[in-house]
Amino acid sequence: MKVKIDVDMTPMEARELMGLPDVRPMQEAWLDKMNAKLEEHMDQLTPEAMIQNWMKAAGGNAEIMADFMSAFMNMSSKG
């Protein structure tokens, strides 16, 4: 014997039925915080700023980094 039960409810109603907590306020607070951080550092996401950061990370190996970027650009222009 098979029994099939269809329940039509919203995700919020399902959480309440199972006794799960409402985490929306926590998620919204976290998203607001992440958006504020993103907006704060938006000027660092320009291509020029990213390349400058990569060059800093390369340290004394600026030539290696320049060769890598050149090779990368050559690959992308061939495709």
H/E/C letters for each residue in 17-36?
HHCCCCCHHHHHHHHHHHHH
pLDDT at residue 40, rounded to an integer:
86
pLDDT in tens, the chain (79 residues): 999 999 899 988 999 999 999 899 999 999 999 999 988 888 777 888 777 777 776 665 667 777 877 888 887 766 5
C-alpha 40/C-alpha 34 separation (Å) is 10
pTM of the model: 0.44
